[in-house]
Amino acid sequence: MPKVDIKILEFMGKNNIRTIQELHEITGLSRTTLSRLINGKNTSITVDTLIKLCKTFECEIGELIVIDKEKISS
């Protein structure tokens, strides 16, 4: 399975959002969901979650999610 990096912490820093609680209040996403995404514990992410994060960070999905192409198995 390819390594997928969701750059939530990077975008939090760029947007001066300091805590998961603050991001939760802005996006309406649960703290558990945010924590699991940040810590790489989620194996899936909904389109709704992606849209909320991208709207908050004013970015495109491809900027938020990076796939390590070196680790993609054939």
Question: Measuring CA to CA, how many Å separate 59 from each of 10, 47, 71?
Answer: 12, 14, 25
Crossing angle for the helix pair 20-27 and 31-38, to the nearest 10 degrees: 120
Which pLDDT belongs to residue 43?
78
Residue 73 has pLDDT above 80, yes or no: no
Q: List the structure tokens of 66.
A: 């990076």
- CATH assignment at residue 50: 1.10.260.40
> pLDDT of 9-45, one tens digit each?
999 999 999 999 999 999 999 999 999 999 988 878 9
Report the number of distinct structural domains present in the chain: 1
Q: pLDDT value at position 1? A: 60
Instruction: Give the residue-averaged pLDDT of 45-57.
Output: 96
Domain that holds residue 57: 3-71
- Is the separation of the CB atoms in 34 and 24 below 8 Å? yes
Task: Give the separation between CA 3 and CA 13, rounded to whole angstroms.
Answer: 22
Q: What is the pLDDT of residues 59-68, one digit of tens each?
A: 999 999 988 7
Calpha distance 14→18 (Å, rounded): 10
